[in-house]
Structure formats: structure tokens, C-alpha cells
Structure 1
Amino acid sequence: MNKHTILLTSLLLLLSGCSPFGGGADIRKSPADGQSPKALYEIAEDKLSAGSIDQAIKQFELILSSYPTSKYAIQARLDIAYNLFKQKKYTRAIIELDEFIEKHPTLPSTPYAYYLRGIIAEEKSSSILDNFVTDSAQRDVQSVEDAYSYFAILIEKFPDSKYSEDASKKLINLVNTLARHEFYVARFYTKVGSHIAAINRSKYIIENYPGSPSVADALHLMAYNYDLINANNLATDARKVLTSSYPNYSQNYSID
């Protein structure tokens, strides 16, 4: 066998994937190792039952990569999001739900994805200190705004969903939190002498959160700031509205 024949033979062996030392079959296996999506899902469930959340998530991700169009892949993405939520990995969980909603906008399980997204954003805004030291309205309320938006979209798109009724109740609490946040800001502006800014914040509360308990405080604070800039007629008008709308009102906040 001459040199050219040897080179040609070697090239053919490489192209065919055959080995010169054996049967020549490609023995590489897929990540799923031939297991059905159902079998993979059952393994993931077993890992969850054993408390191995990270391993379960990896198993769910294996279903997504190996059988992306199966019904098990649809459920697996929801399971990934929920278990990331349990681990307090809120941002990753919301990304998974965003992708689910984009891929499956009309499935029966899609309202749940919207609802869970709102729950996660609401949880993200909370703190272990809320009931002891701080009020979530005193901190950055971006997650509160996100939760409000997610629940509102759910109600708009799926008004008859079993999740929409609870979402409507949650909107009330979220609105109250946003209104309190605005009131904290208005109080801060009052404290530092930015009276026009405080008045504008108070107006924002009255106009955008009319059912909130913060409206009465906003009217009272608005009148106080009108006094400080000698806008006496406007101060009187604000107090008239406060008295007629909240006849039993008493101040329960301080500027300091």
C-alpha cells in the first residue's frame, strides 16, 4: 500500500466516523440517555420529594432540552419557576415565567404563570423586617409596581380565571403600599422645605389612588404645605374636602 492509499483510507475512516480498531459505530449517547420525558419527570419528582431542589431543577431542564415540545416540558418550565421561587431566586423565576408566557400565551396553565409571576414580584418586595421595623412602602417599590402590573395583566387577559379573583384582592394591598410610598416621599419633601413638590406628591396620591387610606393624610399634608407657602385659599379648599370626605379624620403621622 503506497503513501497516497494510506492517506485516502485514513480520510475515509475519519469521514465515516469509523474506528480502524473496532466496529466503527458512534456510541455517544444523548443527555436523556434514551429515557422518555415521563420517566425523566418522575425522576425530577423523586428528587423534589427527597429535598434535592437543585437536582430536580436540572432534571426539569433536561426535559426542556431533550423533549422541548412535550407536555412534560410545558409543566417542567412551570416547575422550574416555582422551585426557583422557593429558593428565593426571584429574578430567575420571573425570567422562566416570562418565557413560558411568550411560548404558551393561551394554554389552560397560562393564567397560573401570570399569577405566579405576580406572587413572586410581591414576595420580592417584602422583607423579614416588615412586621417589626420597616414598611415595604418606605423602600424601593419597583417590585410592588411590577406585581401590580402582572396581576392587572392577568385580570385583563383572563378575567374568568380562578386566579383573577385573588389577584383583584392583592391589587388593593399593592395600591395601598404604592400610595403609602408616595406619602412618605411627600413627607420628606415637606421636611426639607420643598413644599411645592410635597403638594404635587399629595395631589398624585389623591388622583391615582382615590380609594387608598393615604388620601386623607395626603389632603391634610397638602393643606399644611399650602399654609407654608401662604396659599391660604387653597389650604382652606383642601381642608373642606378633607372634612367633608373624612369627618372623623385625625392626624396620625409626623413630619419628623
Structure 2
Amino acid sequence: MKNAIKLILLLPLLTLLLNGCFDNKEKRESITKGWSPKTFFNQAKNSDSIEGSIRLFEQLQAAYPGSKYALQSKLEVAYMLYKNEDYDEAISYLNDYIKLYPEHFSTPYTYYLRGVISEDKSRSILDGYLTDNAQRDVDSVRNAFNYYMALIDKFPDTEYAKEAKSRLIVLRNILSRHELFVAIYYTKRSANIAAISRTKFIIEKYPNTPSVPAALHLIAHNYDIIGAKTLAKDARRVLKNSYPMYQPHYSLKD
């Protein structure tokens, strides 16, 4: 009799436990769609749209957070955001990745991709034809430069660091050219001291860039205007000795 009573009391509990198991199984299947991590990843890669791919990659991360496919999917999402020109969101995604996996073997790539994204953010399809990105806001160029420098400092022996070093040359040229445009602008506005400060910055900060001879020529011009004849003469002497073939390629006319 006692056993029968115990069984009656246990039945509701067993029913609840079984229902809980079935509920958990159903919830699990609703999250995973019944796919393995690899299948999930492939489905996301082959989606018909960027938005669809990103949605599936994020579902994969929720369903299998500890899998290698979940980790790779984070990089895939960042790259797709970049290709979709969601530059700031892509960089934010990569920053989070670096915080979570600072020493992972894939992390140098995230440093490199941040630089690439920042470079592209500053570009226009008309650059090289009608426009020059050095004449626009160069904050994203500076960011790219700093991202590449961080990569070289953190992972100096990687292939990405080698590529970053070559990209730094281009970025330095853009930044020095930007300073030259600003110095020309100040000169046109008769802000000669400000123009001198900018040209000095080019010569000191970007000594091996193509903008240096123009900076020397421009600084001499501004020294003449403020009556600093000796400094103007020194600047022209350095220009002649270092760049004997230089011919001015800029104009001070509006």
C-alpha cells in the first residue's frame, strides 16, 4: 500500500521531468534547426543575401558558441559588414573579437582587416581622376595607420605585418599630402605662421614623403612674407641640395 502511494506521488514529478526533457529538446532543435555546426556554417556562407548570411552566422554563434565554426563566423560577419560598407559596425565587431581572443592565431587578421576597412572608408571611386582623398577628412586614414602600427607592434612576424608595412608607405604619403593642402590653404588666406607650422610638421613628421620638397618651397615663400629672410634662404638651400630637379606643382591662386 505504501509503495502504491509513493508511486502515485512520484508520477506527477516524473511527468514534469519528462515534459521538461522534451521541451529542452524542442528548444534545442529550434535553435540549431537540426543542423550541425558545419552545416550551419555552410548554409550561412551560401545564403542569397548578406543580411541572410549575417543572420545565420549569428544564429550559429548562439547555437554552438564553443565551436570553431562559431569563432570563424565572427570573422565572416565582420567581413560581410565591411563589404556591405557598414564600416563602423565592422570595426566595432573586430574590436570585440580582439578583446575576446587577444592571442588567437586568427587575431592578426582582425588587426589587419581593421586597417583595410579604415582605408576603404576614406576612398572615393573618383580618387585618382577628379578627387584626392588627402583633400578630405583623413581621420579614417589616421585610424588605418594606427591599426597597422598596432598590428606590427603586436604581431611583427606575421604575413599581415609585412603587408601592413607596405600599406603604411601609402598612408604616410596621404597624410603628408593632406598637411600640404592645409598649408597651401593657410598661405592663400595669409595665415603665414600657421602655414609655416604645417610645413614644418611635414618636414619633421614625414621626412621621406613626396610632399617634402613642396613643403620646403612653401615654407620659404611664407618666411619671405613675414620677413624671415635667413630662414627662407636656409629652406631654399636645403631644397636645392636635396631636390635639385624640383619644380613647384601647386598654385596659390584660388
Q: Is the contact made by 1:41 and 1:72 (CA closer than 8 Å) also made in structure 2?
A: yes
Distance 2:113 2:65 in 1: 22
Partner of 1:70: 67
The percent of aligned pairs where both chains have the same amino acid is: 50
CA RMSD in angstroms comes to 2.0
- Residue 27 of structure 2: which of 26, 29, 47 is its match? 29
3-state secondary structure, aligned to 2:190: coil
Partner of 1:44: 44
Query: Match for 1:35: what amino acid?
Result: W
3-state secondary structure, aligned to 1:222: helix
Distance 2:65 2:237 in 1: 63
3-state secondary structure, aligned to 1:207: helix
Say yes or no: does 1:208 pair with 2:205. Answer: yes
1:156-235 → structure 2 map (5 Å cutoff): 156-235=153-232
Deviation at 1:133, TM superposition (A): 1.2
- Aligned length in residues: 236
Query: Match for 2:35: what amino acid?
Result: Q
Distance 1:83 1:128 in 2: 20
More helix by share: 2
Distance 1:63 1:126 in 2: 33
Q: Is the contact made by 1:17 and 1:26 (CA closer than 8 Å) also made in structure 2?
A: no
Could you report, residue by residue, the CA deviation over 1:99-134 in whole angstroms, capped at 9, with x for unpaired residues? 111111111111111111111110001011212211
- Residue 246 of structure 1: which of 243, 246, 249 is its match? 243
Moved more, 244-253 or 36-45: 36-45
Distance 1:46 1:148 in 2: 34
- Residue 127 of structure 1: which of 104, 118, 124 is its match? 124
Report the TM-score when normalising by structure 2: 0.87
Report the TM-score when normalising by structure 1: 0.87
Q: Is the contact made by 1:84 and 1:93 (CA closer than 8 Å) also made in structure 2?
A: yes
1:148-163 → structure 2 map (5 Å cutoff): 148-163=145-160
Structure 2 residue runs without a partner (length 5+): 1-11
Say yes or no: does 1:113 pair with 2:91. Answer: no
Structure 1 residue runs without a partner (length 5+): 1-12
